[in-house]
Amino acid sequence: MELNVIITGVGGQGNVLASQVLGNAAVYKGFHVSIGETFGLSQRGGAVMSHVRLFKEPRYSPLIPPNRAHIVVGLEPLETLRIAQDHANPETLFIVNSRPIYPLNVIAGDVDYPDTAWIRQVLEQGGSRLYWLEGTQLAIELGGPIMLNMVMLGALCAIQSFPLETKDIKDILGEIFPQSKLEVNYRALDMGEELISNYEN
């Protein structure tokens, strides 16, 4: 058994933390886990992608081989589109936050940010299923854009083929966050889960 999940977005969106939370929960559920994090110069404001791999047997490659991602969690639309060609396949399920973060070269007018409706359409045509979510809006209501990563993990846990539930994530959050931050993160997970269970296409 092998389940490959990519979390992609922009530095500062909490991508690496999300993959760490997911990995910890998976280890407690008895999975062997391998996570590849890409950061560094792309730490803040650059493109960031984490590969999270769950296995029944020990395997170590920190990178998902080309076009073998089962699920892509996109924290930002353009970054989701960027990795689709090399990492997705016709069976890939996309869970994508619709709110763009504009690159500096877009802000400067050197290049255009593609129309988000078009991004949505391409992802819909590319994979097996697309959940296009107003995640940032929900995160702001919960207390700030930084809550987005937990909203999106909640959404991921609502996917039937994904073997972890929000409860599994909640069980390990105490190791990551201080007590004072737990309640709001629990709420973010629940609300993310609801985004999928109430999803209307």
For CA atoms 34, 2, 21, 173, give the dihedral sign: negative
Q: Pick from 23, 135, 154, 192: which binds other proteins (CB under 8 A)?
A: 23
Q: Binding segment for other proteins among 22-30, 157-165, 181-189, 191-199 (CB under 8 A)? A: 22-30
Q: Where are the alpha helices (DSSP H) in the chain?
A: 15-28, 77-87, 104-107, 116-126, 135-142, 148-157, 166-173, 179-197
For CA atoms 83, 47, 1, 191, give the dihedral sign: negative
DSSP label at 41?
Answer: G
Nearer residue to other proteins within complex by CB, 115 or 183: 115
Q: Pick from 36, 165, 187, 190: which binds other proteins (CB under 8 A)?
A: 36
Give the C-alpha separation, 29 to 26, whole Å. Answer: 5
Q: Pick from 17, 29, 67, 165: which binds other proteins (CB under 8 A)?
A: 67
Q: Give me the residues that bind other proteins (CB under 8 A), please.
A: 10, 12, 19-20, 23-24, 27, 31-47, 58-68, 78-79, 81-82, 84-86, 88-90, 99, 101-109, 111-114, 118, 122, 125-126, 136, 140, 145, 175
